[in-house]
Structure 1
Amino acid sequence: MNKTSSVRIDYFSDVLCIWAYVAQVRLDELRHAFHEQVVVHHRFIPLFGHTGHRIGTGWQDKGGFTGFARHIHKVCSQFPHVEVNEALWCEQPPCSSAPAHQFLKAVQLLERQGEVARECLPHCQDRTRFEETAWQVRLAFFRDNRRVDSRRELLAIAEECELPVAAIEALLDNGQAMAALMRDIERRDEYRIEGSPTYLLNEGRQKLYGNIGYRILEANVREVLERSDSQASWC
C-alpha cells in the first residue's frame, strides 16, 4: 500500500475570531505530532469585515459591543490557555479585520518569495515566521487590545517580529497583498466555507468547521495519511 506522504490543510480563519484564537493550540499540536507530514496553507476570510454591522447592528438586542465582549469573556473562561484583555471590544474596537488580513498576506507572499524564512521556529511552537506573525497579531488584539486595523500598529508588529517592513509596505501599496486576500475570499466561495475556523483536507473532500476538538483533527489527518493513493475513502 502506497501511503500519502503529507496532508495539505487549507485553514480558513479571521484574526478577530475567538474560535480561531482558541484553536491555535490545536494547529500547534498537529505540527508537533506530524511535523512535515502536515502542510498548513493559511487563508483569511472577512468574518469581521465590518464590525459595526456584524456586532454593532447584529448584537444590538444583546448589548452591542459590550454584550459581545461579555460573550467573548464567557467563551474564554472555558479555555485557560488563552488570554483576553478586559477592554476587548469595548474600548476602541477595530473597524475591520481586513487590514490585518492584508498585512498577513503580504508577509505570506514574502515567505513564498524567499524574503522571509520559511523554516519553523523551535522557540515558537514550531511555527514558521509567517505563522508566528499571525499569532502575534492575534495576541496583539485579544491579549493586548491593540488596534490591529491600523497600518501603523501592524507595521509596529512587523518590526517586533523582525520582518522587512519596507518590503511589506511595498506589497500593501502595489496591490499584491490585496489580490492574494481576494483570492482567499474566492476560495472561500469555491469551497462554500461557512465560517472561522474551517479546516479543508483531502482536496476539499473533508471539511471541519468550528470548535473542533484535537482528536477529530488528528483522526482526519491520519485517515488521509494512511489511505493508499488508489483506495476510495468510505468514512
Structure 2
Amino acid sequence: MNPVKISYFTDALCVWAYVSQIRMDELKANFKDAVEIECRYFHVFGNVSSKMDTAWKQRGGLSAYRQHVREVVEKFGHVELHERTWQADVPKSSMPAHLWLCAIRDVQTAARCAPGSSDRAAWAFRDAFFRHGRDISQAKVLLDIVESIGLPAAEIRDAVATGAAHAALADDLELARAQSIAASPTLLFNEGRQRLTGNVGYRIIEANIRELLEASPGQLSWC
C-alpha cells in the first residue's frame, strides 16, 4: 500500500503551528511508514511590522497580538511562552527561518545530514522563539541553534550561499500559491483534494488519513 502523502504548510512564527507540532509527531509515531509528511513553508509573517499594522492595529497592535498568543499557549499544557516573545527582540520576518529550514531540507535530501534533521530544526527554531524568546529572524541565532542540535552548519550555510535554499523556498511558495494556501498550519493531502487548516484536532486528522488508507481504488473521485 502506498503511503498517504501530506504536504504540511506552516510559518515558523505561527503559534498554531507551534501548538500543533505534537499532533504531527503523534501521526508519525502511530502511522509510521503509512504516511509521508512533507514540510513546506510560506509566509504569514513575511513582514511582521506590516502584519501588525494591517491585521492588529485596530485591535491594539503588537501588545494585543502577544496577549492573543499568550491565551492560545495557556490552553495547552505541552507548550510554553517566554515573557520576551512578541515583546522584545521581535523578529522582522519568518523568511530567514524558512530559508534555513529549506537549506537543511536540501542538505538532508542530498544525504549530507541524518534523516529527520529538517523536522528537528523546525521544532528547534519554534522552541527557540516561543519558549526561549529568541529572535529567529537573525542569521547568528539560526546558526547557533543549528550548531546546538548537531547539524552540519557549513553544509547548511553553503546551501544558502549558493542559492539552493532560495530555489527550494521558491518551490514551497509557488506550491502554496498554486494550492491557495492562506493559513498556517494547513495539511494538504489526497493530491490536493482534501485540506485541514488551523487548529484541527488529532482525531480529525487521523480520521482523514484512515479514510484514505482504507478507501478502495477508484472511490476517491466521481469524475
Shorter-chain TM-score tier: over 0.9
Question: For residues 128 and 220 of structure 2, what CA distance do their matches in structure 1 show?
Answer: 44
Q: Structure 2, unaligned stretches of length 5 or more? A: none
Greater CA deviation, 16-25 or 221-230? 221-230
1:194 touches 1:209 (CA, 8 Å); kept in 2?
A: no
Using the size of structure 2 for normalisation, the TM-score is 0.96
Shift of 1:57: 4.1
Question: For residues 166 and 75 of structure 1, what CA distance do their matches in structure 2 show?
Answer: 37
Question: For residues 112 and 155 of structure 2, what CA distance do their matches in structure 1 show?
Answer: 9
Q: Does 1:83 align with 2:71?
A: no
Relative contact order, higher structure (CA 8 A, sep 6+): 1
Question: For residues 97 and 149 of structure 1, what CA distance do their matches in structure 2 show?
Answer: 6
Q: Secondary structure at the match of 1:203?
A: coil
Corresponding residue for residue 151 of structure 2 = 163
Q: Which amino acid aligns with 1:41?
A: E
Q: Does 1:112 align with 2:142?
A: no
**Superposition pairs for residues 190-201 of structure 1, below 5 Å?**
190-201=178-189
Question: For residues 94 and 39 of structure 1, what CA distance do their matches in structure 2 show?
Answer: 31
Q: Does 1:182 align with 2:170?
A: yes
Q: Secondary structure at the match of 2:135?
A: coil
Runs of 4+ in 1 over 6 A off after TM superposition: none
Q: Secondary structure at the match of 2:182?
A: coil
Question: For residues 2 and 174 of structure 2, what CA distance do their matches in structure 1 show?
Answer: 28
Q: 131, 153, 161: which is aligned to 2:119?
A: 131
Q: Does 1:145 align with 2:136?
A: no
Corresponding residue for residue 192 of structure 2 = 204
Q: Does 1:215 align with 2:213?
A: no
Aligned residues: 222
Shift of 1:140: 0.3
Q: Structure 1, unaligned stretches of length 5 or more? A: 119-127
Shift of 1:132: 1.0
**Superposition pairs for residues 82-101 of structure 1, below 5 Å?**
82-101=79-98
Shift of 1:56: 3.8
